[in-house]
Amino acid sequence: MFSLSRVASDPILLYASPEGYGKTPEQLDAIKKKLGLDKPFFVQYVIWAGNALKGDLGRSLVGERPVKTVLGEKFGNTVELAIAGWLLATIVGVPIGVISAIKRGTVWDYIGRFVALFGLAVPNFWFAIVGVLIFSVWFEVLPSGFKGEGFSIKHFIMPTVVVGTSSMAGYLRMTRSSVLEVMDSEFVKLARAKGVSSNIVIWKHVLRNALIQPITISTLLLAGLLNGTLVAEAVFAWPGLGRVMLEAVRANDFPVMMGGVLFFVIIYIVFSLVADLLYAVVDPRIRYS
């Protein structure tokens, strides 16, 4: 936790560099002055960081609107998608991981491992396009994007699957190796040797210990998903943060880019903090040591 608080200030330094490099010569002098680009690179950074600390991220170059509004109004859509993907990853990934570990070496295990390999290797943009092709173009059962007003399950299915697949696979692998590790430990062997039925061993001894890691990691996963919706948003024309960022990148709208990156970094830091706290809550060994 201590390390994380120190991480907080530094990332800004790292990604402030894009602004200083290629941008400055491209702008006309007048615009330069207005945006404060006539000042040296380091001064620009200090001004920006100072404003950011006060909660002012500047204005978007395209719409002249405050960056906070631009990001804020799309944030909800991304959150919906990320949470949906996260639920999918958890609901599907963890049980398959557990089954795959318990029934190691059987057909179930092979299925689980194949799902993991598939999910980690499939390029999600291609997965999305194949999905559109099959379900929207050929069978015409699911819409290919454009979430309108209101809530509709159908619009969520494909983007969710696309967003959730790779994290589901990662989750599955982690759960599997975690369960296998616990199953190999002494106290499980002892419980088995004492003649405890295998169901009780699995539910009481193995799972309670093996699921600690997946549970704590799940917050980090959600943080990763929040910035991992980029591709799905691009394919399904989902009006979320990822699209805002893509448009900002194409239009060289650097206040939005910087604000967005800062936003994602903050999310990541907050969530890893939550993960650390959660770890102490879930695992008593951490608390008492």
Q: Which residues bind other proteins (CB under 8 A)?
A: 3-4, 6-7, 10-11, 14-15, 18, 21-23, 104-105, 113, 117-118, 120-126, 129-130, 132-133, 137, 173, 176-177, 180-181, 227-228, 230-231, 234-235, 245-246, 249-250, 252, 257, 260-261, 264-265, 268-269, 272
Question: Looking at beta carbons only, is 200 or 277 nearer to other proteins?
Answer: 277
CA dihedral 151, 152, 155, 159 (to 10 degrees): 60
The distance of closest approach from Cβ of residue 256 to other proteins in the complex, given in angstroms and rounded to an integer, is 11
Residue number with CB closer to other proteins (75 or 264): 264
Least distance in Å: CB of 180 to other proteins? 5
Q: How many whole angstroms separate alpha carbon 78 and alpha carbon 71? A: 10
Q: Which is nearer to other proteins, 200 or 237 (CB)?
A: 237
CB of 282 to other proteins, least distance (A): 20
Strand partners of residue 125: none
Nearer to other proteins, 31 or 266 (CB): 266
Closest contact distance (angstroms) between CB of 261 and other proteins is: 6
Sequence-distant (≥ 6) Cβ neighbours of residue 27 within 8 angstroms = 35, 37
Rounded CA-CA distance 12/25 in Å is 22
CB of 112 to other proteins, least distance (A): 10
CB nearer other proteins, residue 196 or residue 246: 246
Closest approach of other proteins to the CB of residue 54, in Å: 22
Q: Which of 150, 111, 159 minimizes the C-alpha distance to 131?
A: 159
Pick the closer one to other proteins by CB: 137 or 153: 137
Residue identified by tokens 């201590």 is 2
CA gap 37, 248 in Å, rounded? 18
From 168, 161, 171, 206, select the one nearest 187 (Cα to Cα).
206
Beta bridge partners, 59, equal: 66
